[in-house]
Amino acid sequence: MRLDRLLANLGVCSRSECRNLLRAGRIGVNGAVRARPDTDIPENAEITLDGKRLDTRLTRHLMLYKPAGILTAAEDARQKTVMDLLPPMYRHLGCMPVGRLDKDTTGLLLLTTDGEMNHRLLSPKRHVDKVYLAHVDGALDENDVKAVAVGIDLGDFVSLPAKLEIVSPDTGRLTLREGKFHQVKRMFAALGKPVTQLHRCAFGPLRLDEALLPGAFRELTGEETAALYRAADMEK
């Protein structure tokens, strides 16, 4: 990638500002001062600004605590999206949500720049667990647990066998291995107990970091990233 484009994508400076930094001798690549914005930067090159090394990783994985009222989309002309909660750098790097949460659903949302991993984690063949805490209008009972374990006929498809744990009479923890449009809400509605509040606690090997506040995010640790690649059957 060109040096000026890389620095712009990382949010260090604009491409025009990059030229000024280069003329001033403030940018180095692998220990040498560079003066050309079209310098082709090899992978894992060491880039410095005023002698300080920059984080030039192009592959990023994020955990976001999605708040209610925000769309899970790359962009929208009228409404705020999860990408608006992140610094512009992540959009420039091509970071995208893995699947989606409804506008009023809160909790763990994974975002990544790795398109192949994104695709694999969402593939029905992978059976990646998603865990939701659902508050419902009504009282859950063992008949609901059994119905979820068998699979619920939703008209256009029958849900795969899933696990429902009753946390309290009006709250259940649902673990399922698919994620079709409005599926969780449709399942509880089919049981006659519509969802009043929905929160995703976990996605595959990841659990929502309790230190995150709604709207906040952090990059995944090395261990978390490795676990995700294993869940996607990808070696890294």
Reference 222, options 59, 65, 74; nearest CA is 59
- Alpha carbons 127 and 144: distance in angstroms, whole number: 22
Contacts of 39 by beta carbon, 8 Å cutoff, 6+ apart: 2, 3, 29
The encoded tokens of residue 173 equal 């923890």
Compute the residue count for the chain.
Answer: 236
DSSP string covering 52-115? EEP------EEEEEEPTT-B-SS--SSS-BGGGGS-HHHHHTT-EESS---TT-EEEEEEES-H
CB atoms < 10 A from the CB of 236, how many?
Answer: 11
Start-to-end CA distance of the chain, whole Å, equals 22
Question: Residues 119, 207, 97, CA angle at the centre, nearest 5°?
Answer: 35
Residue matched to tokens 């192009």: 58
Q: Which residues are catalytic?
A: 102
